[in-house]
Structures are given as C-alpha cells and as structure tokens.
Chains A and B, each alone.
Chain A
Amino acid sequence: MRYRSVIDMHVVNRMQAFGWPPVVGALSLLLVLAIGAIVGSQGPDARAGMYEGMTWNGAIFAVLGPMIGYGFTSMGQYFPLALGLGLTRREFATGVSLVFLGNAAVYSAVITFGKIIEVATGGFGLQIRFFDVFYTGTGPAWQTLVQTFLLILGVLFLGAAITAAYLRFGQPFLWIAGAVLSMLAVAILAGIVLLDGFGRGLLELLTMSWGPWMAVIAVIGAASAGIWLLLVRRTQTR
C-alpha cells in the first residue's frame, strides 16, 4: 500500500518523531519535580496550596505544543515530496491521517499512564501535578485518555489545515486569519468591558462541564480535519 510511504517519511527523522518529545517531556517533568521538592520543604501548607495551584500547571504543553508544529511540517514539507514522488493527494491524506491517529493514540496513552501513577503516588511523593492537570482532565483516567486523544488529534489537524490553507491561498490567508482572530479578541474584550453580564456569561460558558468541552474539542478537530481534507485535494505544489 503506497500510503505507507507517507508514514515512512514521517519517521525518517527519528529524533523528531520519537526522540525529542520524550526528552522534552522528561526534562519538564524533572523541572516540576524540582519545584515540588523546593516548595515541599517549606511545610505541609505550602505543599497543599501547590497541589491546588498546579491544577493549571501547563508544563505538559512541552509535550503537546510541538504537536501543532508536527501538523505544519506534514503539510509544508512532506506534501511536496510526496507529490514529487508520485503519490496522490488521497494517498498522502490517508497516510498523514494514520500518522496523526497513531501520534494521538500513543501520547494520550503515555499521558494517561503518567496520570495514573501520579495520582496513585500522590504527585510522585512531592504533591506535584504534571499529568493530572486541567488540560488533560482531572477526572477519572478514562476521561484523561479521551480528552488528550481528542486534544492532540484536534491540534494536529488544525496545524495541517492552517498550512493547507496557507498553501492554497498564500499570504493573504495569514493576513485575513490574523485580522479575524484579533477582531474576535477585541470584540470579546469589548463585550467584557462594555456589556453587563457578558463576562460572567463567558466565564460560565468556559467552566462548563467535561462532556460539553469534549464536544467542543471534537467539533474543532473534526472541522479542521474536514477543512484540511477538502483543501488538500485541491492543493498544488509550487
């Protein structure tokens, strides 16, 4: 099956594919553990406060962040080579989708595994949170699995969709997308400042329960995937 070549391309850079994410992840975990050790030495109160505060600890993004870059690279660098070697856009899309699914499956499993250990050992004995945070879900383990899987997959497709749109529409796309996003930000800010109850409503919306949030992530991911698939079928090389 020719789409397997697309997967092969993605693992040529072994460090990029398998090396850096664990290294970067391990380093940031070490950093958090070090912070935990320092804060923990100041007594149980500080330790409890830290455990609470670290719910919002974003160190896990050291692992999740590069994923969006991975989406960019697939479209920006592997697409021209795939077409140059005679693969069809359909074969490329199939291969890339499998790469993305594999990535999401492996990393969500690793993170869930980390979370189970973290919870069971009381934050690795130091009362820290690395895996068991807001972004990966502080609920039961299966929720973390589902949440990180959807999050990673959504981010990968989003990156690919943005790059595909850029390849398709060129520089103007970046300008227009940037303008739309900043207008949206200004509108929200204006709403919070000017409209009574807007800010509170927004806060309620943002703190909705786990289920709806997953639906939102799934919708964003599916929309990105859909747009990407639509665009990639019409993308030309330069």
Chain B
Amino acid sequence: MTAVQTRSLTKHFRDVAAIDGVDLDLDEGRVHGLLGRNGAGKTTLMKLLTGQVFATSGQMRVLGEAPVENASVLARTCFIQESQKYPDGFRPRDVLRIAEGLYPAWDRELARELIGEFRLPEKRPIAKLSRGQLSAVGIILGLASRAPVTFFDEPYLGLDAVARRLFFDRLLADFAEHPRTVILSTHHIDEVSNLLEHVVLLDGGRVVIDAEAEELQAAAIEVSGRAEEVREFVGDADLLHLQEIGALATAAVHADRGRAERARAAGLQVAPVSLQNYIVHRTNTAVEQTAAIS
C-alpha cells in the first residue's frame, strides 16, 4: 500500500507556487528521502500532508485517506518540524508527556533512553535550549511516537557529530524492529544516503527526481583524465558537470549501459558519483534549464 499519494498537488502562498503540481507515490514501510535546496518546497509538502496548511488544488492521501482534519490519520502520523513552536514555559518533559497521550504506539521506555543518550535537560524551559537540544526534542518525539508515518524535517539542525550518529543509529535500529514509513528531509545527504531507499528531489516546488536510491547511486559516473580525451569521450552525451584544471578534466555523465567500460578502455579514470554529488549536479542542471527557458 502507498503511505503517501499526491496528484497534481499545488500550494500557492499569494502568487508564489511553493508546491506546483506534485504527483508522488511513497510506499509503506520504507525510508524516503525528501531532498532539495532551501525553499524547494519540502517543508510545505510535509505541512500539506499533515494538514497544517491547506492545498490550493490537487489531491492527497495519507494511509489511504484524506489527511486534513482526519484524526484517525493524524494519530498515525508524526511530523517533526524544524520550526515547531512551543508555548512559553514548556519543558521537554511537558511536550513528551502530552505527545504520549496522542500517539497510540508511544514507547515511554525508548523516550527515557533517548533523553539520556542525547543528554537532554528535560526540565529546562524549551526557550532556553540550544538549537541542537531543540532538535533532540523533535528526534525523541519522532522516534518514540512509533507513528506508522513519520516525517522528519531537517532533524539534524544544530546537532554535533556524536548526536547525528546517535540519531542515525537509533532511527535505523528502531526502523528495523518496528518497520514504518519514514520521510526524511535533510541537507546532510552523505550522512543518510545508505539509509534511504527511495529519493524525491524537489526544486522550485516541482518533482525533479523520483527514483530508487540504488538507481541513483549508479546513475552517474565521474570520468577524469586529459581534458582533450575527456571532452572527446563525453561528446554530446548528457553532461551533468564538467570541470577543467589546466590540461586535466573531470566530467560527471549519466552512466548509460557500458559507458564506464568504454571510459576505462579509452584510458580514463572512472569513479562513482555519490548520491550527494548527483543530487547537487541534478539541482544545478534543473536551475540552468529553468534559466534557459525563461
């Protein structure tokens, strides 16, 4: 079953289209990466799917039902928002206690453990927490809720390397034991690329990529060598990126069938292109195309 489905989903803020005709099918029980630059529409999409804002047009289904004002869907959906506001004077323990009453599958034991591991001062007013501690509140809530559909919007903000790894390991372990649908938005693509099964790249409110992570990891190769030979090899193939330093050049190209072998045969160095670099290349290409059209 699909956990999330949208058709021609569109959201305008005044005359700006934050989400522009988005069609998506996100399968249940997988980790989906929702990637894109700031302002690409990731947060707006998640807000639409959790009924925080209303769509201008189009349809959406979460766990098979329309999510807006739907308590049965929202009780099974947890949205950890990067910019979540908390009332004055609220402490982490207050928020977690209230959340416990709202998510049927809440795991109190897990919440306890995570508070300890993240060293979250649960009795300090949230207004006085650091950005990293604030992110930890969201992470603990998102993991302990065990919601069948969990959205993490930039969960990494302000976290140090230890805490980031902790989040990754805990998410992975909990996801393995309690499979659910996770939709993860982050700029730290390299850190999560081995966790993602499916990737959606948004740019300017539109879907640029909607593919299996495995396909994307093999989608491009980087060839390098003498500039002349690289240019000749690349020819008029789809070029993602080209960089020349003196007589040397490096080019990222789509890995069509046999291209890597041909590059090696032509005496060029071949290297894989990481998901992060591929996403960066594709985002830049999308920008260039938009610029070319307008």
Instruction: Give chain A's interface residues, CB within 8 Å of chain B.
Output: 2, 4-5, 8-9, 12-13, 16, 73, 77-78, 80-81, 83-91, 233-234, 236-237
DSSP class of B's interface residues: helix, strand, loop or mixed?
Answer: loop
Q: Chain A residues near B99 (CB, 8 Å)?
A: 85
- The answer to whether A88 and B102 have CB atoms under 8 Å apart is no
**Nearest neighbor of B141 in chain A, beta-carbon distance:** A85
Contact for A89 among B69, B77, B98, CB less than 8 A: B69
Q: Given A12-B90, A88-B69, are A83 and B51 neighbors across the interface (CB < 8 Å)?
A: yes
When chains A and B are docked, how far (Å) is the Cα of A87 from the Cα of B103?
Answer: 10
> Does B85 contact A81, Cβ atoms closer than 8 Å?
yes
Docked complex Cα distance between A136 and B70 (Å): 42
B75 to A: closest C-beta gap in Å: 6
Interface: B211 (CB within 8 A): no
The answer for the CA separation of A81 and B88 in the assembled complex, in Å, is 11
* Contact A88 B98, beta carbon cutoff 8 Å: no
Separation of A16 and B94 alpha carbons in the complex (Å): 15
Q: In the complex, what distance in Å separates the CA atom of A8 from the CA atom of B95?
A: 10
Q: In chain B between 75 and 120, which residues have their CB closer than 8 angstroms to a CB of chain A?
A: 75, 77-79, 81, 84-90, 94-95, 97-99, 101-103
**Which B residues lie within 8 Å of A77 (CB)?**
85, 87-88
Contact A8 B98 (CB under 8 A): yes
Q: Does B168 contact A (CB under 8 A)?
A: no
Interface residues of B in 205-259 (CB under 8 A from A): none
Distance (Å) between the CB of A139 and the closest chain B CB?
39
Chain A residues with Cβ below 8 Å from B75 are: 2, 86
Is there contact, CB below 8 Å, between B84 and A13? no
Give the CA-CA distance A89 to B70 in the complex, in Å.
Answer: 10
**B87 and chain A: residue at smallest CB distance:** A77
Q: Is B50 an interface residue (CB 8 A)?
A: yes
Instruction: List the 6 shortest-distance A-B pairs measured between CB atoms, nearest first.
Output: A77-B87, A86-B74, A236-B53, A237-B52, A12-B94, A88-B69
Whether A2 touches B71, Cβ cut-off 8 Å, given contacts A12-B94, A85-B102, is yes
Once the chains bind, are A12 and B87 in contact (CB under 8 Å)?
Answer: yes
Contact A84 B52 (CB under 8 A): yes
User: Does B170 sit within 8 A of A, measured CB to CB?
Assistant: no
What's the minimum C-beta distance from B284 to chain A, rounded to whole angstroms?
A: 30
- Chain A residue nearest to B11 (CB atoms) is A236
**Chain A residue with minimal CB distance to B90?**
A12
Chain B residues lying within 8 Å of A16, measured Cβ to Cβ, are: 89
Select from chain B the residue with minimum beta-carbon distance to A78: B87
- A88 near B70 with CB under 8 A, answer yes
**Seed contacts A8-B101, A86-B102, A91-B71; 9 additional CB < 8 Å A-B pairs:** A2-B71, A4-B101, A83-B51, A84-B81, A84-B84, A86-B74, A86-B147, A233-B69, A237-B52
* Cβ distance B32 to chain A, nearest Cβ, rounded Å: 19
